[in-house]
Chain A
Amino acid sequence: MFVTDIRKDFYEKVLHKRVLVLVSFDVDAICACKILKALFHCDSVQYTLVPVAGKMDWERVFSEHAEQLEFVVMINCGATLDILETLQPEENVTFFVCDSHRPMDLVNVYNDTQVKLLMSPEESIPKYEDIFRDDESDDEDDIGNDSDGSEPNGKRRRFDEDVLERRMERRRKRREWDGHRHQLLFDYEEFSGYGQSAAMIMYDLAWKMSKDTNDLLWWAIVGLTDQLLSKKIDRETYVLEATELNRHVARHNHRGDEEEDSVSINSMRISFTSELQLALYRHWSLFESLRHSSYTACNLKLWTLKGFKKLHEFLADMGVPLSECKQKFSAMDMGLKDNVTDWLVTSARKFGLEQITLSSFHAQYGFKNKFCAFDVAYGVNALLESVETEKSQEGYFLEALDCLSRSNIDKLAHGLELSKRQFRATVNTVQSLLDMTQVISAGSFLYAFIQEGTPDTRYFARPNCLGMLARFTLEAYVKMSKNRKARTLPLVMTAPLNLETGTLLVVGIPPLPELEQSSKNFFGRAFEQAGKKTSSRILHDNFDSSVIEMKNEDRSKFFDALISLLT
């Protein structure tokens, strides 16, 4: 059931109790968890926090920690699964689910006692009467009538006909209802998508309790930004939510303009500005950033010689010397640095890059540390999906959790470095995929395989990074392709996951977001059905239904089935 008053029905329930918090591996969840942790610290709520990577992990962790627990909070995991069925909890356990994955499982939605959903109700959810039937005793009265045979024959026959008619009628209704239910469920579960960011919901809670600070606000911003960067929400929703957050930003950072009123430089200040959609340019060089950002790279078609020349033309138009562009942004000439954003925007307009700016937030503390929400989201994500092997995956989750604190800026800096490596790998791979024409159209969708043994494959054994590559590839392919139909096609991409066990990671992404059915993704169900048809060994472990793992050998038959299914 949906929680209407998040403060009364959730927070005050868990106050002074022990709580198990399960957090999935994404930036939004980490931000939400940071906010919740801060609240729990205020009120001394004892908790145990465990990261969960996938569904199997989720079940394992719950069964390990289930003893003596009454309250479980799940962040970005669990809403799409039937919690009670899968976890088999004791009756006194209450689950609070804050999950941005959609569609939610309907049993969770209509369970009044044990499952509480911390999100706003949606219209698309089918009504209770249409899905569940309370009256199990349908046919019983008929049987009761059958047994008494004391009436005369003629009467009996008429009565029988009556009963028969009634029964037929009832069965017909039942069939109709079943068909209707099936249709409703199919419509409801056909597409997977995303709802409001978990970090925003948690911030909302903090705000309602008047415990929000600039730090919490910053985490909410990063959570929201991550949703945009991984294309979980479209631009419009982002702008809407960002405007909402801007009110909080204004409230927290409102100081008079006079010098003596301004806060100390060491405290955190957040400002709302329009920001270039260039990845990490403050921490990189302008040239590299232009090359590796999907928006500029795809629109300037940097994969061709012509495109590369165009980039130089673009820089010439801006009037910034090449030597300045290629050195670190922070080391650029002060006079240039102050104006470069304006010049970039003006030149970008000439080159048809109208959407290069997007409203975003900056945080500044101290003289040295100025971060843009985009860059932080990239950095945290890169730490989370780090391919270094000195720590386990959970270890990197905790690194990512740490790097959001203000005292751990060095960790964030490391994350930004990792993120640069990810971008380089992504751009190189896109280049080679396009050069070798390895993006293949199967009629109703596109697909691309990343071969084993290419240098950067290890980066793409992580779902978010593979998703980023897939979106980059799709955008580049659409821009390069002469085929107009390519714009409307979704893309499936595979990358080797584990060489020893011979598994692949498969991710499906919807068509480009300029189109209407943007954030809707039908690959979850398609993968499931294709897997069932060919009895391929696939594993639906990720909380995103459009990300699966598959055995290497099953790839060709799986894709054959997928092609026949989608045409």
Chain B
Amino acid sequence: MFGEKVLELVQELQRSRDGTMLPFNEDGVRKVLEEMKALYDQNQADVVSTREEGQSGLFSGVQLRHTCLERNQRCLLAYLHNRLAIIRNMRWEFGSVLPADVKQNLSDQEFQWFTKYNKSLASYMRSLGTGGLDLTQDRKPPKSLYIEVRCLVDHGEFETEDGTIIVLKKNSQHFLQRSQCEHLIRQGVLEHILS
């Protein structure tokens, strides 16, 4: 009673601060809603009895329950909002397709929101410039168009966008366009060298 359940939800949120997506706590949310309903009913009853019988001693109780209600509401909203923020970040990080394990942990409404967000982001990015612009590509402005990379495994031939073929052998070093080798860096074929 009195906001303990909702605190658990907030704590859960706190534990997933590193960006991991915990499963949607439907049970917890339902319990909080039930608690709020019970609080509201009791308040309603007390207010009615006050009005009918003129007892003023119940006011402080009503006041307390009302604060609890407001707190519960705020915490619930925080829970939902922060989960949405995580989902939005994941859209920017992983692209339009969510990994399966993340998808499992979403509630239906959250998933709907994700698809809608996806759609509006895509249409916005299409409208930019002449042929559209992928905003998720470089979130911080890159220092240079070219970067120095080192090959970690024998990858074989790699064709760049302008058609030149580069042989990626282990322990060779290359100076390439950032945009072209970014996905290879993500795959762990190349290593970006900072110096």
Contact = CB atoms under 8 A, between A and B. Distances in A.
A45 interface: yes
A211 interface: no
Nearest to B171: A394
A397 B171 contact: yes
Nearest to A404: B195
A200 B138 CA distance: 39
A41 B169 contact: no
B159 to A, nearest CB: 10
A535 interface: no
B195 A48 contact: no
Contacts of A41: 144, 146, 148, 175
B195 A405 contact: yes
B144 A44 contact: yes
B146 A44 contact: yes
B175 A45 contact: yes
A322 interface: no
A409 to B, nearest CB: 12
A48 B194 contact: no
A51 interface: yes
Interface stretch (B48-56, B75-83, B93-101, B160-168): B160-168
B167 A49 contact: no
A67 interface: yes
A398 B150 contact: yes
Interface string A402-418: 10010110000000000
Contacts of A47: 174-175
Nearest to B147: A41
Nearest to A395: B171
A64 interface: yes
Interface in B175-193: 175-177, 193
Contacts of A49: 172-175
Contacts of B175: 37, 40-41, 44-49
Contact of A407 (B150, B166, B170, B194): B194
Contact of B169 (A18, A64, A67, A398): A64
Contacts of B144: 41, 44
Contacts of A395: 171
B171 A402 contact: no
B145 interface: yes
A65 interface: yes
A390 to B, nearest CB: 14
B172 A48 contact: yes
A50 interface: yes
A405 B148 CA distance: 14
Contact of B167 (A46, A67, A407, A408): A67
A46 B173 contact: no
Contacts of B170: 392, 394
A64 B171 contact: no
A201 B107 CA distance: 66
B194 A50 contact: no
Contacts of B146: 41, 44, 46
B123 to A, nearest CB: 34
A37 B174 CA distance: 10
A567 interface: no
B171 A65 contact: no
A51 B172 CA distance: 7
Given A18-B164, A67-B165, A398-B150, A46 B176 contact: yes
A210 interface: no
A67 B168 CA distance: 13
B165 A68 contact: yes
A405 B177 CA distance: 22
Contacts of A48: 166-167, 172-175
B145 A392 contact: no
B167 A64 contact: yes
A50 B169 contact: yes
Nearest to B194: A407
Nearest to B172: A50
A66 to B, nearest CB: 9
A362 B55 CA distance: 91
Interface in A32-73: 37, 40-41, 44-51, 64-65, 67-68
Contacts of A40: 175
Most interface-central of A46, A67, A398, A407 (chain B CB within 10 A)? A46
A394 B173 CA distance: 11
A402 B150 CA distance: 11
Interface in A270-325: none
A538 B146 CA distance: 44
Given A46-B176, A51-B171, A408-B195, 5 more contacts: A48-B166, A49-B175, A64-B167, A64-B169, A402-B195
23 contacts: A40-B175, A46-B146, A46-B174, A46-B176, A46-B177, A48-B167, A48-B173, A48-B174, A49-B173, A49-B175, A50-B169, A64-B167, A64-B169, A65-B167, A392-B170, A394-B170, A394-B171, A395-B171, A398-B171, A402-B193, A402-B195, A407-B194, A407-B195
Those 8 A-B pairs whose CB atoms lie nearest each other, nearest first:
A394-B171, A405-B195, A49-B173, A50-B172, A47-B175, A44-B146, A48-B174, A65-B167
